[in-house]
Each structure stands twice: as structure tokens, then as C-alpha cells.
Amino acid sequence: VMVLMLIGLCHSGPGNDDDMCAIGGSASCCNICPTNMEQRITSLETRLQNTEREVQELRRLTQGNTFTKLTKKCTPRVAFSAALAGSGNTGPFMTATPLKYKKVFSNTGNCYNPSTGIFTATVSGMFFFRFSMFNNMTPAPNSVVSLMKNNERLTSVWDTAASDVHDSGSNAVVISLKVGDNVFVQLEPNRAVYDDGMHYNTFSGFLLFPM
Ligand SMILES: [Ca+2]
């Protein structure tokens, strides 16, 4: 590259006094003033070194899937899905109670705690959550569950126990969370839900993107 640049300089032609200097009374691009030429070479060397450094960095990022590995390392990975499981009714209870979905299908990032039923954000970002509910009873109690963010009720599902047994419903939300926020599905007071090995009641969520 240096040789090509120097050849280019020597063939740029006369006419620019800055590119030439007079030695012994004659002006020619090949009668090069040593000081001017040294400055040009130093400048070109610096630019070449910078370019080589950038090329090496790009090679380092793209070779051997290094870029993919860096992306995985830098992007938090949070996803979970669990079912209530068990056999029979959960509830009714006197007070609102978080449902403990104990059959864990996945829990990347370990943000979901099956012992409490509570998801706790370890990264701030936009999240998606979904839950489903199943009623297998007649008569009452009815089934009412709500998706909670800390003490805030987000979405709910209601089913009245009656002759139309085997009812189910679901709801979902996309919401921003900060580190430490808790999300869980709450069984409302004096209500009940039913589950068994079919896993009708599920609670799932994942990080869409960090913020
Ligand atoms: Ca019903």
C-alpha cells in the first residue's frame, strides 16, 4: 500500500507547488524535498497503522463465530415456563395466594422460583407473560386468578362454576420491569382452580429486550 501511494505521488504531475520543491533551480515532482517527503511518509505510515489495527479488530470479531459468542455473552437470557400440576383443586383460601407452578418446563436465567411461584426480574427490560386457568367444578367456588406485578393487578381471568364444567381461560401482558420487580399469578380469595397431569394451568414469560 505504501509503495502504491508513493507511486501515486510521483505521478500526480506538476502544477502544485506544495507537492514539489525546487532543488538546484528546477522544479520536478521527482526532485523531492527530503523534509516534505518525510512528513508525507510519516502521515501515511500513521494512517496505514490505524487501518491495519481496524482490520485486525474486525477479523477478531468475525472469525470463529466470535461475534455470536459475544452477543450471547452480552445479552441477558431470561425465559421460563411452568405448570401448576398436582392432582385436583388448589384453593379455596381465605386470602389471595400466589399459585406455585411446580412442574418447570424451562427456567433459563433462574428468575422463576417454583417454591414460591414468583418471577423476579434480574435485568431491567420489556417482558412478555402469559398464564392459563382451568375450572373443573360445579358448583362454586368460582375460579378467579390475576397476573400481578408486585402489588399491582395486571390482567385476570374469571370463570363461574356452573353446569358448564371444564372451562378454561388465559391472559397475557407485555410490560417493562426493573430489577427486583416480582411477577406472579394470584389465586383470589375464596376461589379455586383445578389441575392434573394434563397441565391446564400454566405460567410462562420471557425477556423481549433489555432496557
Ligand atoms: Ca363456567
pLDDT at 136: 85
| Per-residue pLDDT band at 21 (split at 50, 70, 90) | very low
Q: pLDDT-derived band of residue 65, with 50, 70 and 90 as boundaries?
A: low
Task: Report CA 57 to chain centroid distance, whole Å.
Answer: 25
Q: CA-CA distance, 16 to 102, in Å (whole number)?
A: 82
* CA 165 / ligand 1 centre spacing (Å): 6
Closest alpha carbon to 183 in 201, 209, 168, 205: 205
CATH of domain 75-210: 2.60.120.40
- With a CB cutoff of 8 Å and minimum separation 6, the contacts of 36 are 21
For the residues 139-163, what does the mean pLDDT come to? 92
Q: How close is the Cα of 144 to the center of ligand 1, in Å?
A: 11
pLDDT tens digits along 39-57: 999 999 999 999 999 988 8
Rounded distance from Cα 80 to ligand 1 centre (Å): 29
Q: Measured in angstroms, how far is the CA atom of residue 156 from the centroid of ligand 1?
A: 15
Q: Which three cell numbers stand for residue 89?
A: 383443586
20 vs 82, more confident: 82
Calculate how far, in angstroms, residue 169's C-alpha sits from the geometric centre of ligand 1: 10
Residue 102's alpha-carbon distances to 19, 81, 127, 149, 193, in angstroms, are: 80, 10, 21, 20, 15
Q: How far is the CA of 177 from the centre of ligand 1 (A)?
A: 33
Grid coordinates belonging to 30: 521527482
Element (H, E) at 209: strand 202-210
Give yes or no for residue 192 having a pLDDT over 70. yes
| Residue corresponding to grid cell 437470557 | 77
Task: Please report the pLDDT score of residue 68 as a whole number.
Answer: 57
